[in-house]
Amino acid sequence: MSAVIIDGRAIADEIERAIRHDVSNYCSLYNIAPSLVVIALGKDPRSMSYIRQKTRVCARVGIRDRTIFLPLETPEEDLLDAVCAMNEDSSVHAVLIQEPLPKHIASLKILQAIDPIKDVDGFHPENVGLSVVGAPRHEPCTPKGIFEALHRIGCAPAGRHAVIVGRSNLVGKPMMNMLIQKTERANATATLCHTGTPDLAFHTRQADILIAAAGRPELIKGDMIKPGAAVIDVGINAVDDPSSKKGYRLVGDVHFESAREVASALTPVPGGVGPLTCVMLASNTLAAARLAAESRS
């Protein structure tokens, strides 16, 4: 079997067109564009690349977007002040803190300071709780993008066994939660694996849908995949490659060549999950702007 390669960019373009249309309607209705503020500490090259991608998507769909760069050594109190200022600014609909944050900052404290209505990353405990009880407000962009892509490639989760590798708050846990909800669009049976899971391959071989989010280059080989499974590779790992100009290349958590012989569908790295994440941020920003408008009327 040779897997269909899932074109994340094409799916993201399709979603983006719909968002552009909805943003335009929002602007006509409220005479203001949805607006997103990203707060970043320092200029970590990987974060910068992600920020640039977000900026491009926002510009294309008509979202006003601004990044506030603070020095890496900014004290926690000053970062909290910056978050509070954005919470209070009614012209700002969405606030995102660029991770990773330096070690002297308590990440959870910062996330809890964001107005949950403006928390478009969906990491505020109130938003996490709402998702868990099946009443989602903002859901994290990466799992939301994957969920949408599964539907668009004809691999709806209902009745399927999804296996997720990785239990981060960013990807693994919210992915699990989305898949197991008792709704028509979800309703999967799901297994979550991590470093404490004995015999990872035993579990991954049960998966109709395998989602790899471990941050370990090429951890999942073809022989760990059930024939015909849909495989979503979230990982982005830089590995040394002297033959490349940059001295490295990006690989996923899935060994692409062996996986494509077994899977029925597979996301590439790059060009798979990444573009979906960015477009979902635009979707959440529009949703936050709508919530702000509803609360005013």
CA gap 142, 183 in Å, rounded: 20
Q: Cα dihedral sign for 132, 149, 65, 92?
A: negative
Quick check: bond before 270 cis, omega within 30? Answer: yes
118 as an active site residue: the answer is no
- Choice between 281 and 287, CB closer to ligand NAP: 281
Strands (E), 72-202: 94-97, 161-165, 189-193
- Choice between 92 and 251, CB closer to ligand NAP: 251
Residues 6+ apart with CB under 8 A from 297: none
Active-site annotation holder among 22, 54, 115, 119: 54
Strand partners, 68: 39
Q: How far is the CB of 280 from ligand NAP (least distance, A)?
A: 9
CB 215 within 8 A of CB 167: no
CA gap 96, 64 in Å, rounded: 14
- Choice between 276 and 292, CB closer to ligand NAP: 276
Q: How far is the CB of 253 from ligand NAP (least distance, A)?
A: 6
- Choice between 187 and 237, CB closer to ligand NAP: 237
Q: How far is the CB of 277 from ligand NAP (least distance, A)?
A: 3
Active-site annotation holder among 98, 119, 173, 233: 98
Quick check: bond before 34 cis, omega within 30? Answer: no
Residues that bind ligand NAP (CB under 6 A): 142, 165-168, 170-172, 193-197, 200, 213-216, 219, 234-237, 273-274, 277
Q: How far is the CB of 217 from ligand NAP (least distance, A)?
A: 8
Alpha helices (runs of H) in 153-197, residue ranges in sequence order: 172-180
CA gap 57, 203 in Å, rounded: 36
98 as an active site residue: the answer is yes
Q: How far is the CB of 34 from ligand NAP (least distance, A)?
A: 21
Q: Going by DSSP bridges, is the β-strand pair 64-70/4-5 parallel, antiparallel, or unpaired?
A: unpaired
Residue that the structure tokens 């049976």 belong to:
189
- Choice between 214 and 286, CB closer to ligand NAP: 214
54 as an active site residue: the answer is yes
Active-site annotation holder among 22, 121, 208, 253: 121
- Choice between 5 and 200, CB closer to ligand NAP: 200
Q: How far is the CB of 259 from ligand NAP (least distance, A)?
A: 16
Q: Catalytic residues, which ones?
A: 54, 98, 121
